[in-house]
Structure 1
Amino acid sequence: MNSKTAEISRCHTHLPNEKKELWEKLLQIKSEKQGTWIIMGDFNTVRRREERHNSSFCPSSAFWFNKFIDRAGLFDPRMGGHRFTFFCQSERKLSKLDRYLVCSNFITAFPHTTVVAQPRELSDHCPITLQTETDDYGKPLFRFLNSWLNREGFDQFIKDTLTKFKGYGAPDAYLAAKLRYLKEEIRKKRAIDYPDEIAELRRMK
């Protein structure tokens, strides 16, 4: 699997038309080179108005930048850490100029991809890192919703599950094991029922 990386360096003299020309060249290069793409760096433009603070927003530049991302089939992973990546100390200007853009192949391989803007030290830009894995803290906490009791057949499911349990030991250990068994069976049932519930909600909209 080939990997292509392009880095966009900052140039304050770029006009909107020049940036548009750059997006077209990148789009052409990407269309000619099949593989897994990661394009990263300082793009010197933003995607939306809220990505600038105390700094002028150019709708035209944002439009063509977003159009390039869409036409290239790229994704802009969620960024954590700092909201802005560029800080102009003399004029107190803040902007999100740095980002990673990744293709669908990359997202398929690493569905939990995130970007983190790290603390700034010597540079006027925050270093940004691409993270492809999330910390594993084990199974999520078990939560029981009262609304489940209103679903047809759920109470019978509870009775049948408790009847099927086979255990031994002291009464307190037996009860704890029985409840753990019930919890796991409910988890399995919810994993099956949840997609159908989502589909039902969409049909109701």
Structure 2
Amino acid sequence: MRETKLELVTMDVVRKLWGDDNCEFRFVAATGRSGGLLTMWNKDEFLLLKEWSDGRLLVIKGRWVKEDLEVVLINVYAPNLVYEQSILWGVLTELIIQFASPWIRGGDFNVVQCRSERSRCVGSTKGSREFDNFIQTCKLIDLPLVGKKFTWYEPDNKKSRLDRFLVEEHWLIQIKDLQQLGLKRSVSDHIPILLADVEIDWGPKPFKFINGWFKKKECASLIEKGWSNIGSLNGHLTRKLRKLKGVLKKWNGDNCNVLENRIVEYEDRIKVLDGISDKRVLNEGEMEGLKRLNVEVWDAMKFKESLWQQKSRMMWLKEGDANTAFFHRAAKIKAKRKTIYRMKIGRS
């Protein structure tokens, strides 16, 4: 997806950008030397289903073949004036209702979300506030920009982050290592941005003791037994703890798989008894069995919730219900925002 500043886009132009003929495209003509949108895709991996456009938006709905998933891609070129931007945010919000599929919005939004996204240039506080409100209202996620801080550069050292991809929470679940990467620019005053699944090998994962393990009766005895079986290892405490970590990790992996299967099993058995109760009164044994199942599934769900609570580390959710979209979204977003993608040491 890109701004073209062209009134006409031909296959020859697209071929030079894409590299071969294995693509399809749609475009919106530029007005003079301003705007112009182009969206291209691999025709073997994305099947066009529907399209819509105006001077500022190019909306493409299609099927992502690999995942057998309908998705909507919106190419955006926002106006400079705040009141025109407000109209555009309203149009984008309305489009969500019309296309009930996972969205990706990307392009030049011509506004920053906060003051830290611009340097040596003046911006509209009202415009930033309305843009941020649009992002929050639509529950969009602005992934950290890796490799760059700004996306637009002027020769007089003015710079801003005007370009970005905005995604829905679905994508953080669908694509584990989704990142927004700032690439090097050439003649344009805007940098290219790549939204990609980039897996990073951080080496061995650190071990974390899950507080919820203490709710399992067998945990304490497992630790005691594991500690005794390991032996002294000539007094090396670190090596002994490392061995115990392996025991706990194996137990946790097995236990989590059993937990999910157990919840499904309990719910299936409850469904059967509920079906019987629709036809006749349950006898005493069936009533007792239903009560036990309700207790078992409740305990299993609370244990599962405690695992999510520690992952999110949000104290205000300590007594809350894990069965909310925001609960899982918060844990995913927090992990993305706290990820350190690179470090700069000295002047290197």
Match of 2:107 in 1: 41
CA shift, 1:26, in A, is 1.2
Closer, same or farther: CA 185–128 of 1 in aligned 2, 3 Å: same
1:74-85 equivalent positions in 2, closer than 5 A: 74-85=140-151
CA shift, 1:112, in A, is 3.3
| Cα distance in 2 between the residues matched to 1:132 and 1:29 | 26
1:12-23 equivalent positions in 2, closer than 5 A: 14-23=80-89
Which runs of no fewer than 5 residues in structure 1 stay unpaired? 145-153
| Cα distance in 2 between the residues matched to 1:46 and 1:29 | 22
More off after superposition, 57-66 vs 41-50:
57-66
| Cα distance in 2 between the residues matched to 1:177 and 1:20 | 61
Point out the structure with max Rg over C-alpha: 2
- Fraction of identical pairs, as percent: 26
**Correspondent of 1:134 among 181, 199, 208:** 199
**Which segments of structure 1 move beyond 6 Å, counting only runs of 4 or more?**
154-157, 176-179, 189-194
Amino acid of the residue matched to residue 100 of structure 1?
F
CA RMSD of aligned residues (A): 3.7
Q: Does 1:162 align with 2:230?
A: no
Q: Match of 2:135, SS?
A: helix
| Cα distance in 1 between the residues matched to 2:78 and 2:88 | 12
Q: Match of 2:121, SS?
A: coil
Q: Is the 8 A contact 1:110 1:133 kept in 2?
A: no
Q: Match of 1:2, SS?
A: strand
| Cα distance in 2 between the residues matched to 1:72 and 1:201 | 22
Match of 2:73 in 1: 5
| Cα distance in 1 between the residues matched to 2:194 and 2:242 | 40
Closer, same or farther: CA 158–105 of 1 in aligned 2, 3 Å: closer
| Cα distance in 2 between the residues matched to 1:196 and 1:49 | 33
**Correspondent of 1:183 among 242, 245, 250:** 245
Question: How many positions carry a matched residue from both structures?
Answer: 186
Which runs of no fewer than 5 residues in structure 2 stay unpaired? 1-68, 210-218, 257-302, 319-348
Deviations 1:157-205 (A, max 9, x none): 6552133359xxxx99xxx9977532312446789998499499935xx
Q: Is the 8 A contact 1:114 1:130 kept in 2?
A: yes
> TM-score, normalization: structure 1?
0.73
| Cα distance in 2 between the residues matched to 1:159 and 1:19 | 63
1:47-196 equivalent positions in 2, closer than 5 A: 47-89=113-155, 91-141=156-206, 159-165=224-230, 181-187=243-249, 195=307
| Cα distance in 2 between the residues matched to 1:188 and 1:38 | 38
Closer, same or farther: CA 80–178 of 1 in aligned 2, 3 Å: same
Q: Match of 1:74, SS?
A: coil
> TM-score, normalization: structure 2?
0.45
CA shift, 1:113, in A, is 2.1
Q: Match of 1:160, SS?
A: helix
